[in-house]
Structure 1
């Protein structure tokens, strides 16, 4: 695994990298979609409490997404017979379950603090799928509903903090945004190294990913939480005969070599090619962000050790579904090519 980039004593709320991360609750925030002034202010309170408690930005996104699902960012009072038991407030916390008194729970600052206190007790919450982390806190009857709000929650956090949930362009070091190895939106670079070949360049128009240079044996990590949907050896000669992945390939060999496909929330698929040995995951396995998948190698269509990394949208693993990985990962707060192998 990657080592942590910050110590527990680092203040992830301070601005060391040109990003505004200290929320000014006296300002008006732009609307995001159908979320108006009051809802954006409630989201800003959630983020500001996370900052006060030195919760990494990933926690802000999880908290905002949870509040969207539970109350649509409205500080909901008791609804009489329409109420879900005695649930109250932004997070629909229940006095009968020990969250506090009704008056306390109706205070957005108090309810946000209680949410974060419980979240921070969940082992591995930063790398877990948002739904998993939120459900461990909320114990909802609809545990899979949280994930659908992850993208808009990230946008809201970015709007409130001027980009605190993502990198602000190529020049920003990933460590400046994360406060940890996983970005606020739940993504991380799969391997440290420079991009040595780009996406669909003039000389390689059918290159549907990017190549990241790294030494043989370097660890490859899941870019985000998800489920393994493919793991196999793909290496064959130009006439279709099996070449195998027990030896290096070459530019004349076809295929990805040992590779893994992972399906993430929102229909995003990532692909990791040319591993030097069988991957350390299996089809159907759920993985967390940053989990070890395998090691860099040079199997399949490869001229030397590197990771070929692809990103696909809408669950489409064909070339038609491929999108530019560098731009996508920058938007997710985990830019590629920021570290040397």
Structure 2
């Protein structure tokens, strides 16, 4: 297991309730992942070994572009979501097998975004989201 961006991780927006940075609708929204600011085209790495199940245009009303990887970790299924790449920043295709640390994309600012960053989410098998950094730490990410 590895962090999705090399180097020390800083966050520009954390998991959970927040003020919507784009000022849409209500003053508060629930942020389903964590935003890790980085320069455009900074390599995005697969957090764990798995199978790419989606790579390209956003789904479920989510910002384009999006990569989703399915992982089996200690007998449990998880999905990691990587969001906001530009079209030329998606380096994988559905069905592709990846190892932990493989470069799968480049950081962008596509869709509902205020600047270049990786929006990183973790979902369980029932599609419930969880706070990504504790999940990475729990599984020994380096």
Bin for the TM-score computed over the shorter chain: 0.7 to 0.9
Structure 2: how far apart are the matches of 1:221 and 1:257? 18
SS of the residue corresponding to residue 134 of structure 2 reads helix
- Map 1:170-249; keep pairs closer than 5 Å: 187-192=1-6, 193-203=9-19, 204-234=28-58
Q: Of the candidates 70, 78, 88, which is equivalent to residue 263 of structure 1?
A: 70
Structure 1 stretches of at least 4 aligned residues deviating more than 6 Å after TM superposition: none
Between Structure 1 and Structure 2, the one with more strand by share is 2
Q: Tell me what 1:272 maps to.
A: 82
Per the normalisation by structure 2, the TM-score is 0.82
Between Structure 1 and Structure 2, the one with more helix by share is 1
Asked if 1:307 is matched to 2:131, the reply is no
Structure 1: how far apart are the matches of 2:81 and 2:129? 10
Shift of 1:259: 1.1
Structure 2: how far apart are the matches of 1:296 and 1:314? 26
Q: Deviations over 1:265-296 (max 9, x none)?
A: 02100000001224111101111100110100
Q: Relative contact order (C-alpha < 8 Å, sep 6+): which is higher? A: 2
Q: Deviations over 1:182-226 (max 9, x none)?
A: xxxxx0001134111000134354210000011111000100000
Q: Which has the larger radius of gyration?
A: 1
State whether residues 18 and 31 of structure 2, in contact with CA within 8 Å, keep that contact through their aligned partners in structure 1.
Answer: no
Q: Tell me what 2:139 maps to.
A: 332
SS of the residue corresponding to residue 65 of structure 2 reads strand
Q: Tell me what 1:181 maps to.
A: none
Aligned residues: 127
State whether residues 267 and 315 of structure 1, in contact with CA within 8 Å, keep that contact through their aligned partners in structure 2.
Answer: no
Structure 2: how far apart are the matches of 1:314 and 1:234? 20
State whether residues 269 and 315 of structure 1, in contact with CA within 8 Å, keep that contact through their aligned partners in structure 2.
Answer: no
Per the normalisation by structure 1, the TM-score is 0.36
Structure 2: how far apart are the matches of 1:220 and 1:294? 5
